[in-house]
Amino acid sequence: MKRAVFLDRDGVINRAEVRDGMPRSPGSVEEMQILPGVPEALRRLRAAGYGLVVVTNQPEIARGRTTRAIVDAIHARMRAELGLDDIRVCPHDDGDACACRKPKPGLLLQAPRYDMAASAMVGDRWRDVEAGRAAGCGVTILVDYGYDEPVPHEPDARVGSLAQAADWLLTRT
């Protein structure tokens, strides 16, 4: 089986607007900005043999603040610009008690063709770290923006960007 890098979307791939100490998703394709260094980091990871899978909570769909069509349009642009292998979306809110909303591992476990122990999860929130741990990822990496929330379990690495996460991961493998 192939290894993968599972990537949170907002704050890892694209710029997240931070309000009240927490990241927020872009509201349209036009608002979505790929972060500096992301395309090159993804090319390097792919060249090293990793599959590239975005796993993203999008509770604004359940809350009625955006539509699935807008989220899908953002993802179509990401696929076109970044060559991602897959994008998996949880459209639920916490109250829905689904199996796919991070920190639960459902989004990652929907990708059975990947060797989880040889894979990594890269995210900017505690939910991402916990989902990676619960799914059995061999490595969890936190892109640390200093959000106003605790991180229950220490990730394997704390970095400042996806480019730094790629550097860290590629020096280990």
Helix, strand or coil, per DSSP, at residue 171:
helix
Give me the catalytic one of 8, 124, 128, 156: 8
Place of tokens 């989880």: 116
Q: Point out the catalytic residue in the list 10, 124, 128, 156.
A: 10
**Would you give the DSSP letter of residue 113?**
T
Residue 156 designated active-site? no
HSE-CB at 122 with a 13 A cutoff on CA atoms is 30
| 8 is known as an active-site residue | yes
Query: Tokens 């792919």 belong to which residue?
Result: 46
DSSP state letters, 38-54: HHHHHHHHHHTT-EEEE
Active site residues: 8, 10
